[in-house]
Amino acid sequence: RLFVESPLAAGPLRIDGPAAHYLIAVMRMAPGDPVKLFDDTTGEWLATAAQVGKRDLVVDVSTMLRPREAVPDLWLCAAPLKKGRVDWLAEKACELGVDRLVPVITQRTIVDRPKTERLRSHMVEAAEQCARTALPGLAEPVKLGAMLRDWPDGRTLFFADEAGGVAALDAMLAHPGPAAILIGPEGGFTDDERQAIRACDQGVAVSLGPRILRADTAAAAAVSLWMAANGD
Ligand code: SAM
């Protein structure tokens, strides 16, 4: 199951680059073998290998299997973390069904510029394995203050605060619909930031329990609770 960048349609399609390497060298694809392709625009298609070369192959795209899905309307707004942890977070956000990942720069953020290409490739791999037909969006990094100033009406901001709040599941059941989850960096939010977030009209401070979770664990736990609360 492979992601392709350009919109799919029935007919021949040439595949090269890393995707071709994977199909030819790893999967040992031969003419006649099937492969599922998806494109983040139309949906998922069945294709069959027609010609297999050393570095590229041509497949015949035939039938649309599933149209692009409607993704649950949840953003994950998270301070960029150190390399391994942010990669894990991007992968899990995609698997758990997040619609958009928003890197948020806070006072204690250690990593100012997440490597967006690397994050995207982790999300593509996760989407390939978890059968998503739509990729999560990856927003430009935004400073916390600017994000709060421009916060859109009608989208609840669940602010995960280890200092306490309403039990996350209760809060999420009480506020269904479009939402975002905000997770702090390794060092947590400062008191000023906490106040600013709590002052946001749509903000709801939530607790994920009495233990201080790592930021990536907190993100996965909060997203899972939101998906359960919203039936997604
Ligand atoms: N030092 C650890 C690390 O390296 O990841 C813990 C960081 S914790 C302060 C990071 C963020 O996770 C917090 O800002 C908060 O958003 C979230 N968090 C952690 N535990 C939580 C809890 N029990 N309830 C709500 N949010 C929590």
What pLDDT does residue 11 have?
98
pTM for the complete prediction?
0.93
The pocket around ligand 1, CB under 6 angstroms, is made up of 160-162, 183-184, 186, 188-189, 207-209, 211-215, 218
Cα(136) to ligand 1 centroid in Å equals: 23
What pLDDT does residue 137 have?
96
What pLDDT does residue 110 have?
84
* Ligand 1 atom closest to the CA of 85, numbered from 1: 5
Three-state secondary structure string covering the chain = CEECCCCCCCEEEEECHHHHHHHHHHCCCCCCCEEEEECCCCEEEEEEEEEECCCCEEEEEEEEEEECCCCCCEEEEECCCCHHHHHHHHHHHHHHCCCEEEEEECCCCCCCCCCHHHHHHHHHHHHHHHCCCCCCEECCCEEHHHHHHCCCCCCEEEEECCCCCEEHHHHHHHCCCCEEEEECCCCCCCHHHHHHHHHCCCEEEEECCCCCCCHHHHHHHHHHHHHHHCCC
Cα(85) to ligand 1 centroid in Å equals: 13
Cα(188) to ligand 1 centroid in Å equals: 6
Reported ipTM: the value is: 0.96
Cα(222) to ligand 1 centroid in Å equals: 11
Cα(54) to ligand 1 centroid in Å equals: 48
What pLDDT does residue 111 have?
80
Residue having the nearest C-alpha atom to atom 27 of ligand 1: 162
* Ligand 1 atom closest to the CA of 212, numbered from 1: 20
Per-residue pLDDT of the chain (232 residues; tens, 9 = 90+): 999 999 999 999 999 999 999 999 999 999 999 999 999 999 999 999 999 999 999 999 999 999 999 999 999 999 988 888 999 999 999 999 999 999 999 999 988 777 889 999 999 999 999 999 999 999 999 999 999 999 999 999 999 999 989 999 999 999 999 999 999 999 999 999 999 999 999 999 999 999 999 999 999 999 999 999 998 8
Residue having the nearest C-alpha atom to atom 4 of ligand 1: 186
